[in-house]
Structure 1
Amino acid sequence: MKKIFLTLFLLLVLFFCSFPVFAQVPKEETLEGKIVSIKEEKEIKVMGKKQLYQKLELQITKGSLKNKIVTIESGNIPLANIQKYYRNDKVTINYSKDNNGKEAFYIKDYIRRTPLLVLFIIFIVLTIFIAKIRGLMSLLGMIFSFLMIFFSILPNILNGANPILAVILASLFIVPVTFYLSHGFNKKTTVAIFGTCISLVATGLLATVFIELTKLTGFTSEEAGFLQVFNQRSINMKGILLAGIIIGALGVLDDITISQAAVVFQLKETNRRLTQKELYNQAMNVGQDHISSMVNTLVLVYAGAALPLFLLFVHNPHSFSEVINYEMIAEEIVRTLVGSIGLILAVPITTYFAVKISS
């Protein structure tokens, strides 16, 4: 009984003593500001390494301290990437204030909305100007895809749904809507939809098998760790990895399935006396060119996205056979090869359906 009372007493002490600790947690806010002047700029040594130091005067342009002038030091702590700021640079600022009224400011990042918006407008204008009505319809399809991703796939995954099931169900809507919007209601588009869906299933099955065989967990990025820490529900990171592979393949399959279906229908229209076998063989001759170009494109796209990882192979003290076992490297290899195999399979599958329907 004494032990029970002693345990309860200790728990109460810890409970009440924890209040001051929680009370000291500073309140944080993200502000926006503009650098109005550089009060000091020099090179200093931090932990034996030279780096740029700046004392900046900023005007807050958005947030609870709007129009207030604050002074922020940059480069006074050791960082791998010290930015050099200039007058009129627009930045985001982390602002915190503890219970004693002590304020702290530091620059988080640049504000990039304006150049990103300009780039997006250039993309839209060029798409509509060059592709005309087809370009406009493809933009509508792109918007629909984003809506499905942000309002269907992502919320379902965050709510604990199976990521693979969420992506596959969304794809059943994304594929026909985007294809028909971009390419019109015709047999060619319908064939491409069938070819894409079957290729997606094959890609998903292949990815599932090799994610299991290579023992991938999906925890190779910082984002994966943050998701597990800050999300209240448990998320299947392995499923998210697989879902990402399927979405990536979906983006590439559109081009090759439509192109291959168009080749078959064009060949049939040019020479209606072609047998199904002759039509298939001639279409596959063109399909082989599609495969060679698209596989190389896909590999380069993935390589560009994972370029920092590939630097591990350069000047690495470990052997190739050891480095290739790193999960982050293995994940990129599986992603690239599975996507490429799905792309390769799409050509004969789409060609077969196109030959049957065109005949």
Structure 2
Amino acid sequence: MTGHVHGGGPEPRASRRVRLLLAALVVPALLATVLGAWWLWPDRDSLPVLRTTAPGTSFERVLVTSVDPAPDAPPETQVVGELADGSSTPVLVPPEYVPEVEPGDTLTVLYLAEAVGEGSPYVFVDFVRDAPVGLLAGVFAVLVLVVARWRGLAALAGLVVSFAGIAWFTLPALLEGRPAVPVALVTASALMFVLLYLAHGVTARTTTALLGTFGGLAATALLAGWASGAAHLTGLVDENALDLRQYAPDVSLSGVLLCGIVVAGLGVLNDVTITQASAVWELRASAPHASRRELYARGMRIGRDHIASTVYTVAFAYVGAALPLVLLVSLSDRALLGTLTSGEIAEEVVRTLVGSMGLVLAIPLTTVVAALVVGGPGRATRDEPDGDAPELPAPDVPGPEVLAPEAVSARGRAGDPGDRPGRDAAAGTP
């Protein structure tokens, strides 16, 4: 992958010393990730299986043909749908969902064989959302490909690989009761190797962002481990946690919470580190004679703006996702501090604070590594880590014109108007 700069000259390559230094830092991390995955790899055959259907039951789809919203109508006659074989049947829908159901909707229903002859055997489970969700996913993929092109395709491929890795390693390892912090760090490290190098190429700039990401991940894991213990976060805050404990007794709910805090910050952490590394590279390209200290100072000015925007981005993301809970809290007569430090809200507050602290620490770390790797004054590191780094050409800046002796003589003989002001001034001529 060929890199480029915006400084007007050819972009030099990373020096051999830089390549060796980066390899000495990244290769051990890669080996530790591989060994950690081998040590923590779960035995999928021993995992508990949650049976969603019992004998005599099955999930089916029903196309709604009519809805009777009359409040006095029996529940089994309010919604009528058409089965796959074309037959019509009433569907038992909870009263709170009836206003949301319209003709033409497709519902997922549970067929209860034992209820045949005792009203409708079809019970509402959920809406079928395949079409709108699939459409959104398709539009998203097309937009990414149109705007980002091949790099967007690589990012989408990395996203698929990441979710596959979480499904095949992280979730089974947690269900089997593996230690949460090692599982979280191995997962995060493996995902960052795949996502960064696949989307941005195997370059010195990408490796710099990867090192900054590792620093942020380590800080996040340490802070999350301390905060979850000090704040007595148990993970027992909703029905899903209780159900998980019932069906998978080996799972540590506090460990699941800890792993979730680390994994939740990966996306934003990846964004800030790659952006910060790219900013330092562009600063070097625009100011090839700036010192490393000056590069760091300029990069941190960009980083501080990034920190300010990222902090409230993370907070707003939580408020938007948990808006029903926030509305419920706003109705409480408890003191604000007591509300923020209780139950589910305390977990999300800790998640937001710990994730934000990891991001804040990753930015100066990435900036200082980038300032060291990108090269000293007059040098810059190319995206491809091979070869030695030649000098960048000096920027075009106004300055005195230096002429060869022949040009000076010719200009004097031709009476170049550009020289007259100097000669007239020397002669005292106004």
Same fold, TM-score > 0.5, yes or no: yes
1:186 and 1:295 mapped to 2: Cα distance? 28
2:149 and 2:203 mapped to 1: Cα distance? 19
1:105 and 1:270 mapped to 2: Cα distance? 68
Mean Cα deviation higher: 336-345 or 29-38: 29-38
TM-score, L = length of structure 1: 0.83
Please state how far the C-alpha of 1:74 moved relative to its aligned partner: 3.6
Using a 3 Å threshold, how does the CA distance of structure 1 residues 340 and 101 change in structure 2: closer, same or farther?
same
Name the structure 2 match of 1:202.
219
1:153 and 1:245 mapped to 2: Cα distance? 14
One of 54, 68, 71 as aligned partner of 1:43: 71
Answer 1 or 2: higher relative contact order, Cα 8 Å, separation at least 6: 2
Please state how far the C-alpha of 1:288 moved relative to its aligned partner: 0.6
Letter in 2 for 1:285: R
1:228 and 1:315 mapped to 2: Cα distance? 31
Paired residue secondary structure (2:80) = strand
Letter in 1 for 2:180: P
One of 327, 348, 351 as aligned partner of 1:332: 348
Runs of 4+ residues over 3 Å off in structure 1? 79-84, 99-103
Deviations 1:247-270 (A, max 9, x none): 111111111101111111222222
Please state how far the C-alpha of 1:294 moved relative to its aligned partner: 1.1
Task: Tell me whether 1:162 sits opposite 2:179 in the alignment.
Answer: yes
One of 121, 124, 137 as aligned partner of 2:141: 124
One of 54, 59, 80 as aligned partner of 1:57: 80
Paired residue secondary structure (2:71) = strand
Aligned-pair identity in percent equals 32
Name the structure 2 match of 1:261.
277
Does structure 1 conserve the Cα–Cα contact (< 8 Å) formed by 2:233 and 2:347? yes
Letter in 2 for 1:127: V
- If each structure's strand is expressed as a fraction of its own residues, which one has the higher value? 1
One of 273, 284, 292 as aligned partner of 2:289: 273
Unaligned runs of 5+ in 1: 1-24, 47-51
Letter in 2 for 1:71: P
Unaligned runs of 5+ in 2: 1-53, 376-430
TM-score, L = length of structure 2: 0.70
Deviations 1:179-236 (A, max 9, x none): 01111121110000000011101001001101111100011122211111122x4201
Please state how far the C-alpha of 1:245 moved relative to its aligned partner: 1.0
Task: Tell me whether 1:244 sits opposite 2:260 in the alignment.
Answer: yes
Does structure 1 conserve the Cα–Cα contact (< 8 Å) formed by 2:77 and 2:90? no
Name the structure 1 match of 2:299.
283
One of 293, 297, 300 as aligned partner of 2:313: 297
Does structure 1 conserve the Cα–Cα contact (< 8 Å) formed by 2:208 and 2:366? yes
RMSD: 2.2
Question: How many pairs does the alignment contain?
Answer: 321
1:35 and 1:269 mapped to 2: Cα distance? 62
Does structure 2 conserve the Cα–Cα contact (< 8 Å) formed by 1:41 and 1:54? no
2:287 and 2:91 mapped to 1: Cα distance? 74
Name the structure 2 match of 1:72.
91
Paired residue secondary structure (1:30) = strand
Paired residue secondary structure (2:280) = helix
Name the structure 2 match of 1:32.
61
1:276 and 1:87 mapped to 2: Cα distance? 66
Does structure 2 conserve the Cα–Cα contact (< 8 Å) formed by 1:42 and 1:54? no
Letter in 2 for 1:193: L
Does structure 1 conserve the Cα–Cα contact (< 8 Å) formed by 2:76 and 2:91? no
1:318 and 1:54 mapped to 2: Cα distance? 43
Name the structure 2 match of 1:310.
326
Letter in 2 for 1:72: V
